[in-house]
Amino acid sequence: MRRAALIPARYGATRFPGKLLARLGGKTVIHRTWEAVVETGLFDEVLVVCDGEAIRDEVARHGGKAVLSTREHESGTDRIAEAAERLDAELLVNVQGDEPFTRREPLAKLLAAFEGEAGRAVQVASLMQVLENPALVADPNYVKVAVDREMNALFFSRSVIPYPRDRSARPIYHEHIGVYAFRRDALLRFARLGPSPLERVEKVECLRFLENGIPIRMVVTDYMGVEIDTPQDLETAERLLATAGPAGKP
């Protein structure tokens, strides 16, 4: 089964414009992300899908492959769907351009969700990790996900889910990590459907799948590193990189 990794890369991020070209340990964020995905060795093709020539040229300068979107998109998943139409790959993985600490193990677990008898029915899968810090559980910048007993997503929200109405209960909170894998048809269908009501309210794109009856299989992983959403995140990433050693891995 041919596998491709697609990295959506938007220059004009709302909270941190130009973040993908910001320097992190001597390299740009998008360079580090592309490099990390390639180094996993999991994909037949790694492609950056960007909205401007500055990012395209930065990727090409370091030997990577990048293409420009032909139009504006509601989400990163919509952006990569445009490129996926021209790719010969059955399984497509969306790795955000601001994930410079991407590692092989979580992506391998994500791809494994499509294997075997149980994996035949999986159309979309995504990653999550346990969230223990109460401050982060309450932080709307951290998207939470609730799952059923089969590890399918029930709902994604920036609010606290589940809400601890019973104070004696000890709920497990999961943070949704915005790394997805799709069968090609599911990804193209996502783009054709257009934004859904809950997606617009929460600004969480994966709700579009659930609102249209497309299940998402969740895969538990451990620490994924730092997602660069703000200048403060970049400072955190610099500190992490400084302690990572010569290999540059956390």
Task: For residue range 25-45, list pLDDT tens digits in order.
Answer: 999 999 999 999 999 999 999
Q: Which residues, in sequence order, are bridge partners of residue 5? A: 46, 93
Residue 195 exposure: Cα atoms within 13 Å on the Cβ side: 14
Domain assignment present for residue 232? The answer is yes
**Considering its fold, how many domains does the chain have in total?**
1
Domain assignment present for residue 7? The answer is yes
Domain assignment present for residue 250? The answer is no
At 42, which CATH number? 3.90.550.10
- Split at pLDDT 50, 70, 90, the class of 133 is very high
- Split at pLDDT 50, 70, 90, the class of 204 is very high
Domain assignment present for residue 165? The answer is yes
Domain assignment present for residue 248? The answer is no
What is the predicted pLDDT for the residue at 223?
A: 65
What is the predicted pLDDT for the residue at 248?
A: 47
* Domain interval for residue 238: 3-242
Q: 11-20, 114-123, 159-168, 208-217: lowest mean pLDDT where?
A: 11-20
Average pLDDT, the chain: 92
- Split at pLDDT 50, 70, 90, the class of 250 is very low
Domain assignment present for residue 249? The answer is no
Burial of 38 (0-12, 13-18, 19+ CB in 10 A): middle
What percent of the chain shows pLDDT beyond 90?
79
Domain assignment present for residue 199? The answer is yes
What is the predicted pLDDT for the residue at 242?
A: 87
Position 91 pLDDT exceeds 70? yes
- Written as one letter, the residue type at 226 is V
Cβ contacts of 27 within 8 Å, gap of 6 or more: 35
Is pTM beyond 0.75 here?
yes
Domain assignment present for residue 84? The answer is yes
Model pLDDT for residues 46-85, shown as the tens digit of each residue: 999 998 899 999 999 999 999 998 777 778 898 899 999 9
What is the predicted pLDDT for the residue at 224?
A: 61
What percent of the chain shows pLDDT beyond 70?
96
Model pLDDT for residues 141-150, shown as the tens digit of each residue: 899 999 999 9
